[in-house]
Amino acid sequence: MITTRGYRCTLTRHALQVCVDKGFTLANVRATFSRPSEIYPSGSHPGQWRNTGHGLCLVGVPSGDTFTVITLYQDRVITPLRPDQIASGVIINRKG
């Protein structure tokens, strides 16, 4: 995936809930998808891609002519570890 041109964007129920919980607007999601500043494959989840721009990172899976956003987050913002991350004992690179 080198461009979003030709794809339509859909959001999973989880991604929509993240928008509500975090106060992200669908207009900003659309702007990020249609005019991303960067598109790159996930290094940790093969088949997933990250589209960044407009302060967001959309994580999703392209299939056919559809890009399904499975989650999203503020791009380049370091947030506190979630309880599940702490409990797992995983070491996370927290460089900003």
Model confidence pLDDT, tens digit, residues 31-49: 999 999 999 999 888 999 9
pTM for this prediction: 0.79
Residue 44, both tokens: 């940790």
Mean pLDDT of 51-75: 93
Alpha-carbon torsion (40, 42, 47, 51), positive or negative: negative
Give residue 96's pLDDT: 46
Q: Comparing C-alpha atoms, which of 66, 60, 57, 65 is closest to residue 28? A: 57
Q: Comparing C-alpha atoms, which of 79, 34, 73, 81 is closest to residue 55? A: 73
Give residue 1's pLDDT: 79
Q: Comparing C-alpha atoms, which of 33, 87, 84 is closest to residue 62? A: 33
Which residues lie closer than 8 Å to 7 by C-beta, 6 or more apart?
A: 33, 62, 65, 66, 67
Which CATH superfamily is 8-88 part of?
RelE-like (3.30.2310.20)
Contact 80, 22 (CB under 8 A): no
Q: Is the pLDDT of residue 95 over 80?
A: no
Mean pLDDT of 11-24: 94
Mean pLDDT of 16-31: 93
CA–CA distances in Å: residue 69 to residues 44, 66, 72: 16, 10, 7
